[in-house]
Structure 1
């Protein structure tokens, strides 16, 4: 929703509950109350999740707990606010928009997340590059491509220069930095690869879908510009 409804001065608030609303110890009533309180405040804007007393930007939210009431966390970015009773405690000031709200209806679903595991065969790369318009590689640590995959990855990049490759990290917190190690730095320089930095993998996937649908006559420079443009607090570079 953060990419389909951009620059919205009206808040779009998502909430839910870990337990049904009709059980005695449900969190549904509190979450609903907090959502209405936040949505009705004149300083609220854009897409956010209100859950467990926290207000989290839609692009930064990740569900990290399956049963606990504080199910969602804000990844690599502060919470927008906390809600205590009938009081909203804000940490991040409202954004200033240039222009009106933008609605984006199209998404390109040809995006794949390829999670690297130790010893995975390089043969899978040819299938991914031939089938998908965008491949997001979830690599280890700060990001990079293991040396034994480099030959096949290089061959696929040369054979499919129109495909979009993005490097992400499997580590939830603190983001990627391909410049730290030689294997990551070299491949990034050779192909001007995009990397997610502090973005969540969920935001990176959806942003890639939005960009591929939006930039039909795309060039690498326009894709790079759009991917690193900040939408609802999704990236800091």
Structure 2
């Protein structure tokens, strides 16, 4: 019987109705009790009781520390978490806990567990099964899909199919045949270097994520830099194009890079990649020193930037590397 740890952090899955709306109130033990009998030996620890909108870098560090502390005592760890920022947490944990020796699976729900037609019980059961079955790594389990944590994005606000694995297939799907793994993921796991896990939780939160739109004033980028911003991810157009007529974003990007502020160019398009080499509007930004995010999600790009700055790494080299499956080089 696999030994699994449930770390409860709050979120919709643990919420109850109050005068001010849904508020996380249920303990991890209460969540577990509603699942009935499971074929695992489960321990529960409540480490937070927060709506995920209030999960911030301080909470990321706490969750990472708890996972690192208990990782060798269990065969797998499940983290119950609110859905709104779960993709950010999953991405950051992927970088903080590289080479983790066990599967760590985040999950939550769109409806509280105590509601009759909730999706919570199914998602929790899926997370426990993933924690007992998957290769080591950081995952997000939701609506019969198991996804690599650093590739997930929340794409729906109310539908039960709230998360998607972007630019790579889900690690596994649940069908009538059981848990069916993607063969390419199995191959990826076999090629991973087997290194010791270290907790690397130092990050730099003085960063910004900016969505470019027609009429965006580049002066705002200078204002961010003057206010202490030390790195920026820009969701640019299409393959990574940026304005250079009248409102010259390209020049502003170059000026910031000369000041030692790395600028990452990603795409506003959810799927496929950014490629600064294809169009003039991208090549000019590339010549100024902009770094392409390739096919990373915005959640993964901004957390990787925060983590890289906190670790004192060369950001250009970092974004040219695939650390945990977050990017296709």
**TM value normalised by structure 2:** 0.66
2:281 to 178, 183, 192: 183
2:144 to 46, 49, 53: 53
Q: Which residue of 2 aligns with 1:128?
A: 224
Is 1:141 aligned to residue 238 of structure 2? yes
Runs of 4+ with deviation above 6 angstroms: none
Distance change >3 Å, CA 213–CA 156, structure 1 → 2: closer
Structure 1 residues 65-124: Cα deviation after superposition (integer angstroms, max 9, x where no partner) = 111111100011111001236821100213533311121111100110121111122221
Is 1:117 aligned to residue 209 of structure 2? no
Superposed CA RMSD in Å reads 1.7
**TM value normalised by structure 1:** 0.90
Cα distance in 1 for residues equivalent to 2:164 and 2:210: 24
Structure with more of its chain in helix, by fraction: 2
Higher relative contact order (CA 8 A, sep 6+): 1
Paired residues, what number?
A: 228
2:271 to 161, 164, 173: 173
Q: Structure 2: which 5+ runs fail to align? A: 1-92
Q: Structure 1: which 5+ runs fail to align? A: none
Q: Which residue of 1 aligns with 2:197?
A: 101
How is 1:16-165 mapped onto 2 (pairs within 5 angstroms)?
Answer: 16-41=108-133, 43-84=134-175, 87-91=178-182, 92-93=185-186, 94-95=189-190, 96-130=192-226, 131-148=228-245, 149=248, 150-158=250-258, 160=259, 162-165=260-263
Distance change >3 Å, CA 50–CA 184, structure 1 → 2: same
